């Protein structure tokens, strides 16, 4: 089994990937990990979760058998909702200080418009350095 990322909320919830299939959650106090929802048909895995500031949703990369599904999704940690927000080739991180979503699509790093207001649909491109494990875009 190969894990593909994890994230820890301020409320003591850990969300992680432990191989193909759904993300799991567990209390930082311990306990039995529980799957978050059940993957839709064709979804191979959820990976690289990252908590959003509300502590109830995570960003995660979805790999599937359908290119229209692949990309960064926002997922409720209770498993009640999931929605693709952008086509991407990696997980994404939310930059709290600027409100931007950082992700990689076909090698360049992209900085999406602010999530705090209506997304501008514009992106800033910059070369990706292979030694970086996460997409990092210059300002």
pTM of the model: 0.73
Q: What confidence category does residue 132 fall into, taking pLDDT thresholds of 50, 70 and 90?
A: very low
pLDDT at 34: 94
Which residues lie closer than 8 Å to 27 by C-beta, 6 or more apart?
12, 13, 14
The average pLDDT across 116-139 equals 37
Q: How does pLDDT run across 67-91, given as a tens digit for each residue? A: 888 899 999 999 888 889 988 888 8
Q: What confidence category does residue 127 fall into, taking pLDDT thresholds of 50, 70 and 90?
A: very low
Q: How does pLDDT run across 20-45, given as a tens digit for each residue? A: 788 999 999 999 999 997 777 788 88
| Backbone angle region of 125, left / alpha / beta, with phi > 0 → left and psi within -120 to 50 → alpha | beta
Write the DSSP string, 112-136: PPPSSS------EEEPPPTT-SS--
Whether residue 61 is predicted with pLDDT greater than 60 in this model: the reply is yes
Q: Distance between CA 85 and CA 88 in Å, rounded? A: 9
Whether residue 11 is predicted with pLDDT greater than 90 in this model: the reply is yes
For each of the domains in the chain, give its residue range(s) and CATH number, in order of start.
6-126 (2.120.10.30)
């Amino acid at each position: 089994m190969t894990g593909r990322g994890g994230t820890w909320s301020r409320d003591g919830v850990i969300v992680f990937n432990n191989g193909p299939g759904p993300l799991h959650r567990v209390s930082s106090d311990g306990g039995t990990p529980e799957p978050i929802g059940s993957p839709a048909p064709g979804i191979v895995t959820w990976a690289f979760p990252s908590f959003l500031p509300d502590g109830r949703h995570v960003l995660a990369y979805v790999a599937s058998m359908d290119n229209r599904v692949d990309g960064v999704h926002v997922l409720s940690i209770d498993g009640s909702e999931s929605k693709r927000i952008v086509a991407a080739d990696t997980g994404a991180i939310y930059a709290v200080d600027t409100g931007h979503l950082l992700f990689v699509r076909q090698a360049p790093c992209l900085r999406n418009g602010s999530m705090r207001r209506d997304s501008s649909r514009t992106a800033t491109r910059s070369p990706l350095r292979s030694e970086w494990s996460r997409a990092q875009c210059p300002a």
